[in-house]
Chains A and B, each alone.
Chain A
Amino acid sequence: MLQIVARRLMVAIPSLIGVVIVTFLLTRVLPGDTASYFAGPAATPAAIAEVKKQLGLDRSLPEQFVSYVVALGQGDLGTSLSTGRPVSTELKARLPASAELTLLALLLSLTIAIPLGIMAAVRQDSWVDHLCRIVTTAGVSLPVFFTGLLFVYAFYFLLGWSPAPLGRLDVFFSPPPERTGFYLIDSLLARDGETFRAALAQLILPTVTLAVFSLAPIARITRASMLSVLSSDFVRTARASGLSGPTVVMTYAFRNALLPVVTTLGMVFSFLLGANVLVEKVFAWPGVGSYAVEALLVSDFAPVQGFVLAMAILYVLINLMIDLLYGLIDPRVKVEG
């Protein structure tokens, strides 16, 4: 097992190096000019040149690349110009925010999508199947910023049930002492029920928004893979042998249908983590997605590079985890390095 993990991680190194080179080059060919943006409103060409020099942008590309790689080797991802802080600090502060939201949304969508998918497959063309179809179609076709704004309008503005959509905590709470960076866990560890409730209340709307969006792929894949498994020979045999309905569906069919579901899950998770920019914008959520997009808009290279690298590492880890899960779910699957 450990050997497999080590080998897989080794294999990932070349792709990470590729990611470093490509993001470096891509950020440099972007049309924006960092120096003139940050030189301020009344800058003369001389002022811009000076800022360029201060930022090290007047050096040649290979020179910039070497200093970037050397810094990277020391764990320094550079400093963001738009927030004025080291990128690693920012990512460390923002990844838990994104992860907490994404995990919770995934959990919610799992608890709805998997039963829904199974039911839809077991009772094909029944009302559950139609419900599943409607929910998934709505889920993919409603853009998240739209559902997000709609929820804010209904539950915050009109009904007043939800707290102000201002990020992870209400204005008058201070964050719990940091251990994991997940406010729900941290506030529980600190035995602070009030903060826990406040953090949970802030989480509900964005979580539901994201969950609605991620429901669709999971429910569809569950349904499709359940359908193919349910029509296979071993299920017929199990049924013929007189096993009860739930045993056939859950123990035999579902377990065999789980592989594609887990694969989709991994993809949905990594996709949500980086791509929920719109939800982050609507709910003023201090996550990594909006951080990277804002940086990109002002040609702030360091955060973009740091973000892509962090995401690449995350993808590698998630893929590894999913491969290992395969082995647990289905012993026939062998993970090769």
Chain B
Amino acid sequence: MDRRDFLKTSAASAIVAGAGVAAPAVWSPAKAQARQETLVIVSESGPNNIDIHGVGTNVPGYEVSWNCYDRLISHEMKPGPSGVPYYDRDKFKPELAEDMNVGDMSATFKLRKGAKFHDGAPITAKDVKWSLDRAVSVGGFPTFQMKAGSLEKPEQFVVVDDNTFRVDFLRKDRLTIPDLAVIVPCVLNSELVRKNATEKDPWGLEYTKQNVAGGGAYKVVRWTPGTEVVFERNDEWTNGAMPKVKRIIWRMAPSAGNRRALLERGDADISYDLPSKDFAELKDNKKLRIVSTPFSNGAQYIGMNVNKPPFNDPKVRQAVAYALPYQKIMDAVLFGLAKPLFGAPAGKPTDVSWPQAHGYNTDIEKAKKLLAEAGLAGGFETTISFDLGFAGINEPLCILVQESLAQIGIRCTINKVPGANWRTELNKKEMPLFTNVFSGWLDYPEYFFFWCYDGSNSVFNTMGYKSAKMDSFIDNARKSAAIGETASYDAAVKGFVDLAFEEVPRIPLFQPYSNVAMQTNVDGYEYWFHRRLDYRKLVKG
């Protein structure tokens, strides 16, 4: 082979390679039609299980459950802070139940007549009971979520007749009704699941892991884990207004850069986990619509282990609270895409709401003084830990905190914890200093405080904080809410918020935003407490 031959062969191979490239740009009319009726969603990761009752179902799996199953009730929408509809915490609308009658110690639901599962079987009260029995019995996450609303025993769920269903309350609890509108209490086709259950698996979890056994607005027609989920509209759906989009294709694109490229090129209609920086840049792009909504009942914070020196001293914690670079974090890490939870003006009365801003601001002199008062004028060494699973925000944030704390003599080493390991580390409650996010599905201050500050020491009380005063405030708030005592409820909420800010076991930084980017011809996006997409309202113009 001489030079000429070589050049010839390489030229030939270049032509072969070039021939294939031009082809896909050509759309046949049928394809264009399909494109019009289909909504393409891209996100980083997909479901591992499409039944929320399953063992270890991940968050993308919740989205499938939400759209393919019905619940008895759901939430109404109200105008939201970002100009898109936002779920209304206090107003419920019928979904499978056409009527709800809440009595003193029970709630009765009339089921919609003619509602059918995907296989055509009618939805009856016995399916509802079986499904709720399943939720409180299978253990793990669904059971604990049900418990949060005092829904604990199968005996609470009563079939009155084929179309009437009753939930008996164990105790008065303001969270019981809202807890029936979260994702977990979905209604499954009991006949179908039971047919596919085995002795070892009486609740048929193996079957529903891969198959939708519900009657919701969408059906899963194809699911390739890690690649795509394809949904088709259930044209027989009667439990709400008929959705506009016929077909939804949800593709997983692990590279954030590519998700952005897909969106800008118009190949994807919606993308909802782009990094803050991309969102900040896309905001000026007139071809796309960007919606940022603050996480309901959620906050990113710096936590401190209150059971070990030096953070067992409230003065040291306050010093840290005065030494954090709040505004820098907002600008450099989040590109302004978050709601600040710091620097409330002095003397501002505490609200009966959560999250709300605290009065701390970056004030190095004050921090130094507090540290000196605690007898640690020379500073100390410690470690700041974060979850690598969210390194995009956590890493720059921790570097800024490290820099800032160095100014008052606190020398931090940064400890990066892999995602899989993060919860284990939280559970041990040994990390001295760390950053984390918590957000609650149910948007009530006492719900947040129960998880994060209560002496019962849940996983999310990451600081190991225990205070009899705090516990009694939280308890009072729950009790007053249950019986509708507004005055004592308000006092209790103000009490626990004030205490949390005074003792600062954790320092709230900001309320993160849930960022969604879509083409301008896509409409109908709604913000839900679970922060996933509701396909039923989406419209493609």
Interface check A85, CB cutoff 8 A: yes
Within 8 A of A (CB), among B1-55: 1-3, 6, 9-10, 13, 17, 20-25, 31, 34-35, 38, 40, 42, 47-49, 54-55
A83 interfacial contact with B, CB 8 Å: yes
CB distance from A10 to the nearest CB of B (A): 36
B23 contacts A42, C-beta separation under 8 Å: no
A42 to B427, CA, bound (A): 12
A152 close to B140 (CB less than 8 A): no
Please state if B427 and A31 are interface contacts (CB–CB under 8 Å): no
Decide if B225 touches A83 in the complex (CB within 8 Å).
Answer: yes
Interface residues of A in 138-160 (CB under 8 A from B): 149, 152-153, 155-157, 160
Q: Which of A162, A164, A174 has the most CB of B within 10 A?
A: A164
In the complex where A156-B261, A286-B226 touch, is A204 in contact with B423 (Cβ < 8 A)? no
Contact A284 B255 (CB under 8 A): yes
A44 within 8 A of B: yes
Complex Cα gap A299–B460 (Å): 21
Q: Taking the complex as formed, is B252 at the interface, i.e. its CB lies under 8 A from any CB of chain A?
A: yes
Contacts of A164 in B (CB 8 A): 262, 265, 267-268
Q: Is the beta-carbon distance between A38 and B56 smaller than 8 angstroms?
A: yes
- Say whether B141 contacts A172, CB under 8 Å: no
A32 CB to closest chain B CB (Å) equals: 3
Q: How many A-B residue pairs have CB under 8 A?
A: 197
Chain A interface extent, by class: 35 or more
Q: Are B3 and A167 in contact (CB under 8 A)?
A: no
- Interface stretch among B238-246, B281-289, B414-422, B465-473? B414-422
Q: A33-B421, A37-B423 are in contact. Are A294 and B23 (CB under 8 A)?
A: no
Interface size on B, residues (CB 8 A): 69
Q: List 14 interface pairs A-B (beta carbons < 8 Å), by A numbering.
A: A31-B418, A33-B424, A42-B148, A42-B451, A45-B459, A55-B55, A83-B225, A84-B48, A166-B253, A167-B227, A167-B251, A170-B24, A204-B17, A290-B226
A167 to B424, CA, bound (A): 34
B58 interface residue per 8 A CB criterion: yes
Contact of B420 (CB < 8 Å), options: A33, A45, A152, A201: A33
| Interface hits, B118-141 → A, CB 8 Å | 139-141
Q: How far is the CB of A100 from chain B (nearest CB, A)?
A: 15
Tell me the bound Cα distance from A50 to B140 in angstroms. Answer: 6
Q: How far is it, in angstroms, between the C-alpha of A81 and the C-alpha of B226 when the chains are bound? A: 12
Which 4 A-B pairs give the minimum distances between C-beta atoms? A38-B56, A32-B420, A83-B225, A40-B141
Q: Are A156 and B265 in contact (CB under 8 A)?
A: yes
**0 or 1 for each of A254-291: is its CB under 8 Å from B? (1 = yes):** 00000000000000000000000000011110100011
Q: A43-B144, A161-B22 are in contact. Are A298 and B420 (CB under 8 A)?
A: yes
Chain A hits for B451, CB < 8 A:
42
Q: How far is the CA of A274 from the CA of B517 in the complex (A)?
A: 34
CA distance A83 to B48 in the complex (A): 4
A189 within 8 A of B: no
Q: Is the CB of A45 within 8 A of B1?
A: no
Contact of B144 with A44 in the complex, beta carbons under 8 Å: yes
Q: Contacts A112-B10, A156-B261, A167-B227 given; indicate if A84 touches B141 (C-beta within 8 A).
A: no
| Residue among A84, A171, A172, A200 with the highest chain B CB neighbour number at 10 A | A84
CB distance from A112 to the nearest CB of B (A): 7
Question: Closest CB-CB distance, A225 to chain B, in whole Å?
Answer: 17
